[in-house]
């Protein structure tokens, strides 16, 4: 028998109730994610892709069904521990006021580790930004620059699972290519990556398996690499 899935969703239902009625972005979704997989998640806007990530990161709870990580229900994981292992890279960067160096230093400070400036420079290089950006204030940067810094800070956590919500959406083609290559490199090193994208060509380039969410249902499209 093969190894058990790293993440397992079983009959997951998420319900939002509004004055206009009930909406189920996930309606009985069953799926599994194996360690080391690269999965692209697609579907029209507002169909539950980000909701799926919020459930996997335990920012929300399902109304029905179960989700396990490493064979243990998410409810039994301490949220901080879970979010360090299953890290959510938001589409809209969440950065602290101050410099890029302040932001990249945060994961090290949080862990009580000494900040190595050379390592911060290396993090920037991995997302295609020069060392000079360490002194830049985030308030003065473009959306694409903030998105890259946000990703660099996420890489500092060295999480085994990355949930990436359109990480190249604000980047020009050159910047998007740099970020794609870095994430594919992480995947080759053994990281498990789930990536939301609206670009079918990007999904075909990066994914071993493609999930399509629509009308509360998930269907799979196998990625056959040539």
> Does 136 map to a domain?
no
Q: Is residue 128 part of a domain?
A: no
- For 86, the domain range is 7-94+159-222
The rounded distance, in Å, linking the Cα atoms of 150 and 154 is 6
CATH code, 183: 3.40.50.300
Q: Per-residue pLDDT averaged across 58-84, rounded?
A: 95
Query: What is the per-residue pLDDT for 220?
Result: 86
pLDDT band for position 158 (cuts 50, 70, 90) = confident
Roughly how many angstroms between the first and final C-alpha of the chain, as a whole number? 28
- Give the pTM: 0.89
175 occurs within a structural domain: yes
CA distance 159 to 87: 6
Residue 1 belongs to some domain of the structure? no
Structurally, the chain folds into a number of domains equal to 1
Which pLDDT value is given to residue 195?
Answer: 95
- Cα–Cα distances in Å, from 85 out to 43, 196, 200? 26, 18, 28
């Amino acid at each position: 028998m093969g190894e058990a899935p790293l993440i397992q969703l079983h009959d997951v239902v998420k319900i939002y109730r509004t004055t206009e009625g009930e909406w189920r972005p996930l309606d009985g979704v069953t799926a599994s994610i194996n360690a080391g997989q690269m999965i692209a998640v697609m579907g029209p806007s507002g169909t539950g892709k980000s909701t799926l990530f919020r459930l996997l990161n335990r920012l929300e709870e399902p109304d029905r069904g179960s989700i396990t990580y490493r064979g243990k229900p998410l409810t039994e994981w301490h949220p901080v521990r879970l979010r360090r292992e299953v890290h959510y890279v938001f589409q809209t960067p969440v950065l602290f006021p101050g410099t890029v160096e302040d932001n990249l230093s945060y994961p090290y400070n949080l862990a009580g580790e000494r900040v190595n400036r050379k390592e911060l420079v290396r993090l920037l290089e991995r997302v295609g930004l020069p060392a000079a950006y360490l002194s830049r204030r985030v308030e003065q940067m473009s959306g694409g620059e903030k998105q890259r810094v946000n990703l660099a800070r996420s890489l500092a956590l060295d999480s085994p699972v990355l949930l990436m919500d359109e990480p190249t959406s604000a980047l020009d083609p050159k910047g998007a290519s740099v970020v794609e290559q870095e994430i594919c490199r992480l995947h080759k090193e053994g990281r498990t990556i789930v990536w939301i994208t609206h670009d079918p060509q990007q999904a075909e380039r990066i994914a071993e398996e493609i999930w399509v969410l629509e009308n509360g249902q998930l269907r799979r499209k196998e990625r056959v690499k040539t």
